[in-house]
């Protein structure tokens, strides 16, 4: 799949932003006044900034409000609802903390649940696609949720929790890669089933439909980004999960927290690049490519 | 709503004969022609006369080589367009309701004025049937020439999809695959029509007829049905030729094929 910058930025930033909102809604940390304002501004910049970035890959962004209409079948539509509901509810909850010094716990928990739902919907947009075997797994939403919780915990200063969640995210990431590397072969879809001619012999793409490239090849066949997959995987594990966990263990952990968050964000972004670049869409089989 | 209809009154679709297709791409050209001039946004090209031309197509013809365990390889031309699936994954993922499957005939369409161009439907389609138009920013797909098949301004013989009408080999057939007595359904039953990627669970309406077995190039028995009638009338030569034949036999080396 084509690793579009807008989608990588969106899933990385909004994942972290909603992760922070999950913790803030739960009252961890229990902040009020200016401190609360600072936390909420960071969370909203990340979450809403990511959502705005996601509209850059639309062909007709001016029609984006129509995306709220099909929540019954479409995870993308559900994500639109969940994200807006989470941002509205957390805005009310945040106003209580910042301006009135009051914590409306029920509102906070509702915001936490909606933020979790948003991350789940984002992940399900990818996990639902049978056409991309690497994504089509329950491990995908699990990975997105744990990364969001770990990053959010790091930002919220919940270092004990982050110390548990970061290794868990790393383990899930490795499991996701391990499964993903075998997913296309296990899906049963190959050039034989794509053409229906597999029983007759070995099928080889002899001539493509056109001499030039096309939308399908640009969007779904991206072999260049996979060249450095190993190094990027190492960076994802090292920067995204290992380094932040080690920094937490150092004395004056809170000073290092900023560095830890920056490293974590870089690592997760590298992982998200691979999430798209390594994903094989079955339509590539018609072109004899992966 | 992008809920799929539980049943459709008819299942209009194509039957594509991989045995007959000669790979001339006439269907590709006529599809592009009709659909760029008629319903919906035109199918744009980018850099059409330049070094790196690309464009939107609703129908593309691939060619595959099939190498069996033994025997010569076979070349199969393979036209591919929207299969108007019964369980169309492209429809249910659409966040705006622009994509829908018609209850009356099962055609999968895009309402271009509602499409936000998010591309998720193209991600959900295993067949590469949907292409985002780079100029218009909306998703384009085969409409089964919905503006031809019901068009009373056209003569009856033209009320079929442009690709079917133009195919010079007769490799494309159009009809109701939900009616077991229709010509297309009988053709599918007779020739063993198949689904593409059945494991994807899309239940495609369009069917592909597999290539018929080829004549073997190195037959085990007679080369030709006429062979028995073409046997030499005189197996032993007489006269001068006969003398020459016997004389040459006596020379060292013997007859061709009998030597050392």
Quote ipTM for the complex. Answer: 0.93
> What does chain A come to in residues?
290
Nearest partner of A83 among A169, A148, A134, judged by Cα: A148
Q: Which residue has the tokens 């491990």?
A: A139
Q: What is the pLDDT of residues B39-51, one digit of tens each?
A: 899 999 999 999 9
Determine contact, residues B206/B84, Cβ cutoff 8 Å. yes
pLDDT reported for residue B1:
61
Highest mean pLDDT among A212-216, B159-163, B240-244: B159-163
A282: chain B residues, CB-CB within 8 Å: 126, 197, 200
What is the rounded average pLDDT of the residues B228-232?
70
Q: How confident is the model at residue B260 (pLDDT cuts 50, 70, 90)?
A: very low
pLDDT reported for residue B224:
67
Judged by DSSP in three states, B6 sits in coil
pLDDT reported for residue B245:
82
Q: Do B1 and A57 touch (CB under 8 A)?
A: no
Radius of gyration from C-alpha coordinates of chain B: 27
Residue B187 belongs to domain with CATH number: 3.30.70.20
CA distance readout (Å), A61 to A66, A67, A235, B124, B137 = 10, 10, 34, 20, 9
What is the rounded average pLDDT of the residues A42-67?
91
Average pLDDT, chain B: 91
- The tokens describing B35, both together, are 């659909």
Residues 71-130 of A with CB under 8 A from B: 72-77, 80, 125, 128-130
Domain assignment present for B68: yes
Domain assignment present for B25: yes
pLDDT reported for residue B219:
56
A31 versus B215: the higher-pLDDT residue is A31
- Shortest alpha-carbon distance between residue B151 and chain A (Å): 30
Is the CB of residue B201 less than 8 Å away from at least one CB of chain A? yes
Q: Do A131 and B124 touch (CB under 8 A)?
A: yes
Domain assignment present for B226: no
Q: Tell me the sheet residues that pair with A61.
A: none
**Which range of residues forms the domain containing residue B205?**
12-209
Q: How confident is the model at residue A223 (pLDDT cuts 50, 70, 90)?
A: confident
Residues 16-75 of A with CB under 8 A from B: 57-61, 63-64, 66-70, 72-75
pLDDT reported for residue A215:
94
- Residue among A76, A128, A215 minimizing CB distance to B56: A215
Q: How confident is the model at residue B250 (pLDDT cuts 50, 70, 90)?
A: confident
Domain assignment present for B242: no
Whether residue B36 is predicted with pLDDT greater than 70 in this model: the reply is yes
Q: How confident is the model at residue B230 (pLDDT cuts 50, 70, 90)?
A: confident
Domain assignment present for B6: no
Q: Do A189 and B92 touch (CB under 8 A)?
A: no
How distant is the alpha carbon of residue A83 from its chain centre? 14
Taking CA atoms, what residue in B is nearest to A220? B123
pLDDT reported for residue A167:
96
Q: Tell me the sheet residues that pair with A204.
A: B65
Domain assignment present for B227: no
Q: What is the DSSP string of B125-193?
A: -TT---EE-TTT-SEE---TTHHHHT-TTS-GGG-S-HHHHH-TT--EEEEETTSTTSHHHHHHHHHT-
Total of domains in chain B: 1
**Distance (Å, rounded) from C-alpha B10 to C-alpha A285?**
31
Q: How confident is the model at residue B233 (pLDDT cuts 50, 70, 90)?
A: low
pLDDT reported for residue A279:
95
Whether residue A225 is predicted with pLDDT greater than 80 in this model: the reply is no
Contacts of A60 (CB under 8 A, 6+ apart): B115, B116, B117, B137, B138
Domain assignment present for B253: no
Q: Tell me the sheet residues that pair with B139.
A: B132
Taking CA atoms, what residue in B is nearest to A206? B64
Q: How confident is the model at residue B259 (pLDDT cuts 50, 70, 90)?
A: very low
- Shortest alpha-carbon distance between residue B117 and chain A (Å): 4
Nearest partner of A86 among A112, A64, A106, A53, judged by Cα: A112
pLDDT reported for residue B218:
61
Question: What domains can you pick out in chain A, each with its CATH number?
Answer: 5-181+213-287 (1.20.1630.10)
Q: Which residue has the tokens 């029983």?
A: A199
Domain assignment present for B258: no
Q: How confident is the model at residue B60 (pLDDT cuts 50, 70, 90)?
A: very high
**Distance (Å, rounded) from C-alpha A164 to C-alpha B90?**
39
What is the rounded average pLDDT of the residues A194-202?
94
Q: What is the pLDDT of residues A100-142, one digit of tens each?
A: 999 999 999 999 999 999 999 999 999 999 999 999 999 999 9
**Distance (Å, rounded) from C-alpha B6 to C-alpha B9?**
10
- Residue among B57, B66, B80 minimizing CB distance to A286: B80
Q: What is the pLDDT of residues B115-170, one digit of tens each?
A: 999 999 999 999 999 999 999 999 999 999 999 999 999 999 999 999 999 999 99
Nearest partner of B93 among A272, A146, A121, judged by Cα: A121
Across A158-162, A174-178, B85-89, B94-98, least confident range: A158-162
Across A53-62, B19-28, B117-126, B225-234, least confident range: B225-234
How distant is the alpha carbon of residue A9 from its chain centre? 9
- The tokens describing A158, both together, are 């919940």
Q: Tell me the sheet residues that pair with B14.
A: B174
B19: chain A residues, CB-CB within 8 Å: none
Average pLDDT, chain A: 93
Q: Tell me the sheet residues that pair with B172.
A: B16
B120: chain A residues, CB-CB within 8 Å: 74, 76, 125
pLDDT reported for residue A141:
98
Q: Quick check: bond before A29 cis, omega within 30? A: yes
């Amino acid at each position: 799949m084509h690793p579009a910058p807008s989608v990588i930025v969106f899933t990385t930033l909004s994942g972290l932003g909603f992760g922070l909102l999950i913790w803030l809604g739960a009252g961890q940390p229990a902040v009020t006044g200016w401190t609360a304002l600072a936390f909420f501004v960071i969370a909203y910049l990340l979450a809403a900034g990511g959502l705005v970035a996601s509209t850059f890959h639309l062909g007709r962004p001016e029609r984006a409000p129509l995306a709220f209409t099909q929540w019954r079948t479409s995870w993308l539509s559900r994500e639109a609802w969940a994200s807006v509901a989470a941002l509205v509810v957390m805005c009310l909850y945040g106003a209580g903390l910042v301006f009135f010094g009051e914590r409306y716990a029920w509102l906070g928990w509702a915001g936490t649940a909606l933020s979790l739902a948003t991350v789940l919907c984002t992940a399900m947009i990818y996990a639902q696609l049978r056409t991309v075997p690497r994504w089509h797994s329950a491990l995908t939403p699990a990975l997105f949720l744990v990364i969001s919780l770990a990053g959010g915990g790091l930002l919220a200063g919940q270092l004990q929790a982050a110390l548990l969640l970061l290794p868990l995210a790393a383990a899930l990431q490795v499991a996701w890669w391990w499964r993903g590397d075998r997913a296309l072969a296990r899906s049963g879809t190959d050039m034989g089933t794509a053409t229906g001619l597999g029983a007759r012999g070995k099928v080889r793409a002899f001539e493509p439909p056109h001499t030039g490239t096309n939308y399908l090849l640009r969007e779904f066949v991206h072999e260049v980004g996979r060249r450095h997959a190993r190094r990027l995987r190492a960076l994802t594990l090292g920067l995204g999960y290992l380094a932040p966990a080690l920094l937490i263990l150092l004395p004056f952990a809170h000073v290092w927290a900023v560095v830890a968050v920056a490293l974590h964000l870089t690592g997760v972004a590298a992982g998200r690049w691979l999430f798209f670049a390594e994903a094989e869409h079955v339509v590539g089989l018609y072109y004899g490519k992966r | 709503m992008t809920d799929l209809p539980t049943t459709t009154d008819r299942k209009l679709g194509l039957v594509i004969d991989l045995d007959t297709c000669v790979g001339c791409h006439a269907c590709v050209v006529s599809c592009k022609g009709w659909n760029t001039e008629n319903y919906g946004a035109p199918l744009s090209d980018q850099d059409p006369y330049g070094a790196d031309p690309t464009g939107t197509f609703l129908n593309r013809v691939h060619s595959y080589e099939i190498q069996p365990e033994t025997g010569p390889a076979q070349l199969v031309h393979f036209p591919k367009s929207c299969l108007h699936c019964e369980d169309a994954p492209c429809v249910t993922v659409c966040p705006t309701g622009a994509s829908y499957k018609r209850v009356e005939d099962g055609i999968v369409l895009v309402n271009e004025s509602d499409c936000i161009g998010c591309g998720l439907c193209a991600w959900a389609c295993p067949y590469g049937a949907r292409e985002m138009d780079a100029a218009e920013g909306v998703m384009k797909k085969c409409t089964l020439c919905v503006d031809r098949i019901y068009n009373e301004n056209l003569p009856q013989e033209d009320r079929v999809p442009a690709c079917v009408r133009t195919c010079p080999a007769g490799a494309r057939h159009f009809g109701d695959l939900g009616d077991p007595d229709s010509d297309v359904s009988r053709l599918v039953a007779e020739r063993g029509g198949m689904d593409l990627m059945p494991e994807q669970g899309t239940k495609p309406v369009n069917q592909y007829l597999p290539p018929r077995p080829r004549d073997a190039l190195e037959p085990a028995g007679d080369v030709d049905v006429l062979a028995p009638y073409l046997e030499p009338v005189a197996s032993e030569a007489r006269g001068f030729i006969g003398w020459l034949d016997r004389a040459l036999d006596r020379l060292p080396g013997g007859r061709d094929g009998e030597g050392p």
